[in-house]
Structure 1
Amino acid sequence: MKRAMLGMALLWCLPWSAWAAVDSETRCFSADNGGKPVHLQFTVVGDADAGWQAAYVRYGKRGRPITLAWLRGEHEMLAEDRPWQFTDEWLEIVDGKVHGRYTTVHQGARYYGFHYRGGDGREVEFAEDLAALDASGRRCAW
């Protein structure tokens, strides 16, 4: 009986231990689009232990999430006393097809570049909007 109870307790804990390895980070960005601002939420989800990550963007308050697949990245040390700078390229996937690319540049806790290039050649440069992140740190509040 004790053995069965211990087994049940271990099984109950397994999903929680697996979930604990998955982490997410959300950032908020805005772009001036001819006077009408464009708001974008960028969320990266990953498991550092497994070496896996994915992301999505959401435009505006109710935009549908758009899946991003990581394509490539590079990093460099700009100064010995500063964090490494990371440049990542993400593919925008809609209905199983690549529709655009996002390029992010970040160093430490700050994003210094967030650029979108659509399949039609349209380009948008976003700036991080630190004030838009809600108190939970999981959503952007515009």
Structure 2
Amino acid sequence: MRRMVCSALLLCLSGAAQAAVDSETRCFSADNGGKPVHLQFTVVGDADAGWQAAYVRYGKRGKPITLGWLRGEHEVLAEDRPWQFTDEWVEIVDGKVHGRYTTVHQGARYYGFHYRGGDGREVEFAEDLAALDASGRRCAW
């Protein structure tokens, strides 16, 4: 009996811990000289703890690349509109910073998604709303 109560308690606690973590996935594309580049951007965070991280995945089978949140700004563009947020993320590969992503979003829409590599290469992505699969967790290209 005691074992069943402990198991039930652990199950409830694990559910409560998972409920605090949220994720959001967005799909982006860029025209790279006629050959499109597809990118999945997923943010994972715990609003209660004030923590967030993210990863990007290029193409259908790309390996996830860890992003760390660096800084953010927000501004009110109009009294009756949602705030606009600009966030900067650093790309971490093998423990080193390799590039930076800058995102601009307002409400439920992303209006800017910019990548600048450590080698100076820059790519401007546009949100691809049609690419998000039915689960809302992966991009389907």
Higher mean alpha-carbon deviation, 3-12 vs 69-78, is at: 3-12
User: 1:8-37 CA distances to partner (integer Å, 9 max, x unpaired)?
Assistant: 321222112101111100000000000000
Q: What does residue 54 of structure 2 align with?
A: 55
Secondary structure of 2:60's aligned partner: coil
Higher mean alpha-carbon deviation, 12-21 vs 33-42, is at: 12-21
Give, in whole Å, the separation in 1 of the partners of 2:42 and 2:83.
21
- What is the number of equivalent residue pairs in this alignment? 140
User: 1:34-56 CA distances to partner (integer Å, 9 max, x unpaired)?
Assistant: 00000000000001111110000
Q: What does residue 91 of structure 1 align with?
A: 90
Secondary structure of 2:134's aligned partner: coil
Secondary structure of 1:111's aligned partner: strand
Unmatched 5+ stretches in structure 2: none
User: 1:54-96 CA distances to partner (integer Å, 9 max, x unpaired)?
Assistant: 0000000000000000000000000001000000000000000
Cα shift at 1:6: 3.2
Unmatched 5+ stretches in structure 1: none
Give, in whole Å, the separation in 2 of the partners of 1:117 and 1:84.
25
Cα shift at 1:4: 5.6
Name the TM-score, length of structure 1 as normaliser: 0.95
User: 1:80-132 CA distances to partner (integer Å, 9 max, x unpaired)?
Assistant: 01000000000000000000000000000000000000000000000000000
Say what the alpha-carbon RMSD is for the aligned residues.
Answer: 1.0
